[in-house]
Structure formats: C-alpha cells, structure tokens
A and B are shown apart, each in its own frame.
Chain A
Amino acid sequence: MIQDQQVPRNALAWIILSLFTLVAPHAARLPVWVLAVYAIAAGWRIMVYRGRWSFPGRRVKLALILTAFLGIFASYGSLLGLEPTVALLLTAFALKLIELAGRKDAYVLLFLGYFICITQFLFSQSLPVVLYSLCNVVLVTSALVALHRPGEHQFNRGSMRLAVTMLAQALPLMLVLFFLFPRIGPLWTVPVKSHTAKTGVSDFMQPGDIAQLSKSDAVAFRVQFDGPIPPRSELYWRGLVFSRLADGAWSSLPYYAIPARERRAAAVTTAAPPLQYRVILAPTQQHWLYSLRYARSSTPGVMSSADYRLFFPQEIEDDTLYSVSSWPRATLELQLSAWRRRTELSLPPGSNPRSRELAQRLRAAAASDAEFVDAVLTHLRTRGFAYTLQPPLLDGTHPMDQFLFRTRRGFCEHYAYAFVVLMRAAGVPARVVAGYQGGEINPVNRTVIVRQFDAHAWAEVWLPGEGWVRVDPTTSVSPERIEWGLEQALQAEGSFLADSPLSPLRYRRFAWVNQLRLRYDALAFQWQSAVVGFNSERQVQVLGRLLGEFSAAKFAALLLGTWALVLLPVALALLRRRQVPQLSALDRAYLQFCDKLAGRGVARAPGESPGRYAQRVVSALPASAAQVRQLTATYCDLAYAGREQTKTSLRQFAREVKAFRPRQ
C-alpha cells in the first residue's frame, strides 16, 4: 500500500531543482553565505534521503533560525527594507528544505516558492526576468503535481507535462483577469528597495562624473514619438539644472533654498503644435524625469519646476512611463527676477582668477551678450581643446584655470563647467544642464533608445529679449559628439565601451547582430509600455474602446464570456475521455450475428454463453445449423481459445457474419 503523507522521491527531486532555479536570479543581491546555506540545505536533505543523516532536532532548528536572522541583520544592517526581507524569505526557504519531511512541509515550501517568484518582480519586470520566472512557476507547479503522484520513485517529467498543460489552460483566463482587475493604489506603504545604487545623472556634478557614466551601455530610457522624430542634434534630454557652484562641484538648488514666489515657473506661451512623445524611464532611484525643452506632462503625479524640469515627488524605483508634450521653440523667462539673476550669476569668490580675467576681456571686446557667447565658443574651438573620455585630473582650488590654460583636454562636463564660469564671470546669467543627448533610433518601432553613455552636460544662458537659450560648448570641440554620438566622437581614442567587451553595441557593424538587437529592443519597449506600464489610466482607455460606455453588466459579461470560452473546451476535452471502452471488432461482429438470429426470433439471453446459445439456435433453426455452429466455433476460437487475432482473421469473420442469412 502506498503511504499517503510522505513526499515521493520524484517530488523531492523537483523541489530541490526548483529551489536552485528560484534563488538563482536573486544571487547577485544576496550575501554569499545565503547561497552557502542553499548548498548545505540541499546536501543535508539528500543525506537524509539516503538515510545517512537525520532530520535536525528542535534545538538545531531554533539555532539555525536565530543564526539566519542574525546573519541577515549583520549583512544588511537591518531587517526592514525589501532586500533583507527577501533575503530572509530565501533563507527560510532553504532551511525549510532541511526539515521537509511530510507533505505539509512541501506545501509550505512550494507556496513560498511562488511567493519568491513574485519578489523577483519587485526588482525587475523585464521580459527575460518574466520568462525565467514563468519557467520557475512551471517547475514549482511540476513539484506540486509530483507531490500528488504517490509511489513514483524515479525522477520523471510526467508531472511537468501536466503542469505545463494546466498553466497553458490558465494563461488566457489570467490575461482576462489581468486586464479587468481594477488597479487600485497602494493600500499602505511597503518596504522599499534600500540597497540599489542610484543610476543615471546625479544631482551633483564634478568633472569626471559624466565620463564615468559614459562607460555604461545600460538603457536610461526609451522614447516613442507620436510624430516624426526630430534630428539627433535637437535631442537634448533635460534632466537637471545646476545653478549652484560650490567646492568645485555643480549642484541643483535645493527646494528650501528657493524663495516661495520663485518656485513656480513663469507662464510660457505655446502657440505651435507640440512634439508629443512617451518616455519609459528605467529605475533611477532619483526624482527627476527627462524631457526635451519646455515640457509639460499629462501623466498624473508628474510635476514641473521653475527651471522647466519635470520630476516625480517619489523616487523612481520601477520602470516608469510618462507622456510629454514639448515646445522646443518656446521662449522661456523673458523677464529674469532679481533673485534668479543673482543666483545664476554667483561664483565662489576668489576662484579661477585667470578664467575671470579672460571672460572680462572677451566680453569687453564683444558688442552684446550674444556676441560674447560666440567669442567664447570660438575660443574653445580654436585653442587646441580636445574631447576625451580620459581627461587628466584637475586639482581643487582653481580647476577651470587649470583646464582652460593648461590641460585643455576634457569631457562634456568640463566644457559646460568652463563655459558657465566664463559667462557668469562676465555678468551673463548662465547655468549647467545635465541630461542625455541624442540616442539611437530603432527603425523597427521608431523609438529613440537613450543609454547611459549618451549622458551629457551643456549650458543655458539668459540673453535679453530671448530668455534662456541652449548653448552646447562641446559642439565647438567635438561636433561629431552631437551629430553622430559618442562612439564616433571617440573613434580615434578607441575608448568607447572599453570596459564591456561583450556589449552587443560594440558589434553594431555586424548587420545581423544589430538587427537582432534592435528587434529585441523594440520588443522590450512594447513589453514595457503595454504590459509593465499598464495602469488604471490605460485600463479605462482599453475598456472604453472595448465596451463603449462602462457598465457592471457588460464587465461581468466580458469576464464570464471569455472565461466560458476557455473553460468549456478544456472541460470537454477532459471529460470526453469518460466514454466506455469500445467493443472490439470481434465482439461487434458477433453481436451483429446475434442480431440477425434475433430477427428470426431466437434472441440471446443476457449472460448466455455462445456455445449454449448456438445449441438453442440449432434446435430452433435447423436449416442454418451448420453455419451457426461454424460461426460460433470461429468466434470462440478467436475470443477464448487464444487463436491469434490477426487483421485478416478478424476481417474474414466479419465478412462471414455479413454474408450469413439465417433460414427457418
């Protein structure tokens, strides 16, 4: 007899397998010792299975649990926050394996496994992660099925087949629920990711920061324009505005440093039709959003600041979709307030004396601020400045004097820094803008892919009668950077993505690699915008298009209708197999024979053996005696006497029965 509550060996194998596939994607975020716990737990359980070791006693278990808590606390410095919680969950998962004895433990373990799949999504919802998690769900479900196939002592894939079948049947139902389930906001605040590094442009810029960023080929954001894509040289994605220079670093104005009446942007007249686009921003753990010049957003929660930036009140922890309308030609801030002018002119006293002197000399020679701007750009273009990803280090006291008169080698932030210092020194309001410039246009779905190496810094100067005007000093030094991007600008130096030899971007010259990469990127964009970015706003939109006016009855009809559409065929396929086994060809022929005799008034009694029936028939219908005897004998031979049932013998018998005409 098979034991009911024990875990079949097959199921144990499935459980251990899924254990490791579940922890794998978390591995990079976990302390090494948690992975060691996994190896030990699996080893221990296998030893228990082999009968060498025993299950841990209560004291050992208690000690293990306490050690796990202490270990997590020691590794993360806290038990709160998303990472420690997930690490704790994963450790508990491994420890539970050690004491896996009965079916009840297995349920706890496997349901925990499903939950671990979900925690993976809190870190990333990208397509590969989702597909991998789907595999994990299949494995855990297979383990669950294997748990209910008692007496299977060999590892086999039978349970996986059923798991896949069931999940495939559940998938369409899930999709319906996914689109119909109302998206309500968070019910309470939850632990947030604590140990993720902030990525992208930071709100603090020192020379060298953006050069550092340019070593990464990670996607910063993707943009899809409703209309045609503007030329590359116009794609200045503003993220941050640095108005304050202190201690050799640029930073944005903190909120509290701005007087209350200066916190709102001055009204902007927007006559021309705007550029409309949607941005999917990869998590940055920062507040600000990227957009083209003079942007407004209709996405709930997006706010704009006095220096015409967009930002979110919360940090961006997940892929975030927002839609923007931009007016690149709009005039910004024709009148500069006294406070604003003072702020955008301030320089640390006594710093960079040679640069100040140069600025004042150039300004004196120029007729207007605009001419002065041109003079400075000409200076940068003609005095042997070079654009490089590996600039020499600048010391702290007078960095721009050093840069402008000695090293003359720098990345975009050096040029933006120097330019704004020169402007301010000559009394022209100016500020550094940080963000991204350009991006790769994916012809597959007409999106712009902006990567970290597109990070850029440029300047804005305030000119009377024109307001804030964008000036990019890097153009003077390296026009290729703006026209073609970083790779072209650095072609001679060979430093483009020098640290990531495997990046597909380095292999763009192979057409098929590039095609594959762009296709995948288009798919990833589609995934992010349609599925991951699906929110209540989109839901209302889609449902409105589908149902017309919204009503509860239509909603219920849609839900039930689609479910029935899926469930009915499944139910039919499953239950059709209930039919009774069909009669063999031999029995069918014999029953036909009996029917013919019954037509002559001699019906076979239920349970009457063929031999006895034949005797009765022979006495009732003596004219057919020989035939009846012969057919019955053949039937008995084939059915009972073990004569081989070949196709020909069966067909022969059927033919004889067909030809048989009983006579009175």
Chain B
Amino acid sequence: MPSRVGFFFGLCLLLMLLTAINYENNMSYALTFLLATLFVVATLHTYANLSGLTIRAVRAQAVFPGQQSEFVVAIERGGRHDHCALRAQWPHGSQALFNLVDADSAQLRLQVPVARRGWHHPGRLLLESTYPLGLLRCWTWIDLDLQALVYPQPLPSTALPGAAAQRPDGASLPVPGSDDFYGFRAYRPGDSPRQVYWKGLARERGLQTKQYTAYTGSGTWLDWDLFPGLGTEQRLSQLCYWALALHARNEEYGLRLPGVVIAPAAGEQHRDQVLRELALYRVQAPPR
C-alpha cells in the first residue's frame, strides 16, 4: 500500500512523465519508467522486509489503573536476511523502531496505558515498515496471547474500619502504625530493602531483616465485609490500598472475599497473590 510519501512520489513521477512527453525526450521516459518500476520492485522488498519474522509474547507487567503497562515482545528473524526500520506499536501505546541487522532477535518493551481492573488485552500489535524506500507501507496486525493484569485502583482511607469485629478469636486489635520492633531474622528474597538491617551488614553479620510485629501474631484479615454499603469496585479499591499499606509495613495479612480466602502471610509473593485475587474478583476468565 503506498504511503503518503508514495503518493507524493507518484505525483513527482507524473511531473517527470509530462516533462518527457513535452520534450519528447527518450531518456526522460526511461528514467521515469525506471523510477516507476523501482516502485513496483519496492513492493516486493517492503513485503520481504516484514515477512519471515517470528513474534513471541514474553511478558506483561501487572500495573495499577492509569499507569503504563510494559509489554515485552520478542521478534526473531527466520533467515539471514536483514530487516530494517520495523515499527511496532499497540493501539494507544508507545512505539518502537528497531532493526534486525546484526542480531537475530530483538526484545521490545512497549508501554501501553491500561484503564480498568482485570485483564487488559491491548488489542492487536501493529507491525509495520516502509523500508527500503519509504514509498510503500507494509503492515500486519498480530494477535498475541498477551495480557496485563490490572489491579484495582487503591483508594486510601484513614483507618481500617471494623477490623476487630471480624476477628474470630477476639484478641486485641492491631492499629495501623503501632508496630514494634521485634527482632532480626535471616534475609529472605523478597524482603523490603527498607527493612534490611544494613548496619548489621556493615558489621559483617550478613544480611538480616528487621522484624516488626503488631499485637497479633496471626495477622490482619482484609475482609470483603469490612466495607458495608460500598460498591464492589470501591470495596476492592479499599482492600487494595490496605493490602499495599500492610505490605509496606511488612505485616501479615490475609484476604477474605466471597469465594476466596488467602491465609495471612507477608512478602512480595503473598502481596502479588492478594492483588491478583483482587484484580480478578468477578472478572471473566481471559479468553483462551
């Protein structure tokens, strides 16, 4: 398909043809036809530039609404043939321009803004190129099985309401911010760097993590029913905020949604699991 430049080129060719006709100049005819047929040959080259590529979805970053999710896509070339000036872009997303000349594959990081909680499917990936002459645009839409998880929008509230009432054992209620230093334990991957006991490292005691603890040993329950009278999304947003807040304080917390129960724990993996449940609460399973 001719690009806008291609149409401009066509206009130039027409002008050249008129010159050739009016001056009855055979070499002008020849040059005009040479350029016209160059255009025809360019269609093949442009098509070949896009063909023979393998596109693989690598991963998509889970994000909060309003942020940009980073989609990672790997593109490999099939043969030795150089591929130049390939442009990849998701609708509304950032674009990447890349060559496959010296390398056999390239990893692209494409930012796509996400909107709503759940699975974000960015649509089909546009891969296009106008190489080698810029006169023609060859493009393809690729449906990659790649989607980003979008967490609920965290909605801050001053206090975690009514958490005590929900506690089955009736023990005293941990108030956010009332943490006490408890002791050290060996560093585990995933521990927040803020809680690493850096001074200890300096004293050659190895990596240690400072442990804080709330009044309870069994952790906080983030419960669906803590927020009566709110809509589903607001509830999830509040829960999300608290999950993040508790994680930041390295407290243990559990999640209780209708049909979902996650036992209290701490750590990044746990947080990701909790956020994932929040994100996917009553969301239809992703296609395929």
Chain A residues with a Cβ under 8 A of chain B: 1-4, 103, 107, 111, 114-115, 117-118, 121-122, 125, 130, 133, 137, 141, 144-145, 147-151, 159, 162, 166-167, 169-171, 173-174, 177-178, 181, 183-190, 318, 531-535, 563, 567, 570-571, 574-575, 577-581
* Chain A residues within 8 Å of B96, by CB: 1
Closest to A186 in B: B22
Q: Which of A103, A169, A531, A578 contacts B52 (CB 8 A)?
A: A578
B85 and A111: CB pair below 8 A?
no
Min CB gap B82→A, angstroms? 8
B33 and A186: CB pair below 8 A?
no
B41 and A166: CB pair below 8 A?
yes
The number of chain B residues with a CB under 8 A from chain A is: 53
Does B30 sit within 8 A of A, measured CB to CB?
yes
Does B130 sit within 8 A of A, measured CB to CB?
yes
Q: How far is the CA of A169 from the CA of B42 in the complex (A)?
A: 10
Q: Which of A2, A114, A130, A141 contacts B12 (CB 8 A)?
A: A114
Segment with Cβ contacts to A, from B73-81, B156-164, B192-200: B73-81
12 CB contacts below 8 A, A to B, read: A115-B16, A148-B132, A148-B134, A162-B132, A166-B38, A171-B34, A178-B29, A563-B40, A574-B47, A575-B51, A577-B48, A578-B79
Does B37 sit within 8 A of A, measured CB to CB?
yes
Min CB gap A111→B, angstroms? 5
Q: Which of B19, B81, B133 contacts A577 (CB 8 A)?
A: B81
* Chain A residues within 8 Å of B130, by CB: 148
Does B285 sit within 8 A of A, measured CB to CB?
no
* Chain B residues within 8 Å of A3, by CB: 97
Does B58 sit within 8 A of A, measured CB to CB?
no
A118 and B37: CB pair below 8 A?
no
The B contact surface, by secondary structure, is helix
A183 and B41: CB pair below 8 A?
no
A532 and B26: CB pair below 8 A?
yes
Min CB gap A421→B, angstroms? 44
Does B140 sit within 8 A of A, measured CB to CB?
no
A181 and B8: CB pair below 8 A?
no
Q: How far is the CA of A107 from the CA of B133 in the complex (A)?
A: 10
* Chain A residues within 8 Å of B211, by CB: none
Cβ < 8 Å to A, chain B residues 164-183: none
B16 and A574: CB pair below 8 A?
no
Min CB gap B76→A, angstroms? 9
A567 and B44: CB pair below 8 A?
yes
Q: How far is the CA of A149 from the CA of B102 in the complex (A)?
A: 13
* Chain B residues within 8 Å of A574, by CB: 44-45, 47-48
Min CB gap B79→A, angstroms? 4
Min CB gap A327→B, angstroms? 31
A148 and B33: CB pair below 8 A?
no
B132 and A111: CB pair below 8 A?
no
Q: Which of B8, B30, B84 contacts A148 (CB 8 A)?
A: B84
Min CB gap B61→A, angstroms? 17
* Chain B residues within 8 Å of A567, by CB: 40-41, 44
Does B283 sit within 8 A of A, measured CB to CB?
no
Does B25 sit within 8 A of A, measured CB to CB?
yes
Q: Which of B9, B24, B81 contacts A185 (CB 8 A)?
A: B24
Instruction: List 8 tightest A-B contacts by C-beta distance, closest first.
Output: A173-B37, A574-B48, A578-B52, A577-B79, A121-B27, A170-B37, A177-B33, A174-B34
Min CB gap B33→A, angstroms? 4
Q: How far is the CA of A579 from the CA of B133 in the complex (A)?
A: 25
Given A186-B21, A187-B18, also A174-B37 (CB < 8 A): yes
* Chain A residues within 8 Å of B19, by CB: 118, 122, 190
Q: Which of A1, A141, A535 contacts B38 (CB 8 A)?
A: A141
Q: Mark B37-78, 1 if CB is under 8 A from A, else 0.
A: 110111011011001100000000000000000000000001
Q: Which of A150, A189, A563, A578 contacts B97 (CB 8 A)?
A: A150
B8 and A107: CB pair below 8 A?
yes
Given A2-B97, A121-B31, A577-B81, also A186-B40 (CB < 8 A): no
Min CB gap B25→A, angstroms? 5
A166 and B42: CB pair below 8 A?
yes
* Chain B residues within 8 Å of A579, by CB: 78-79
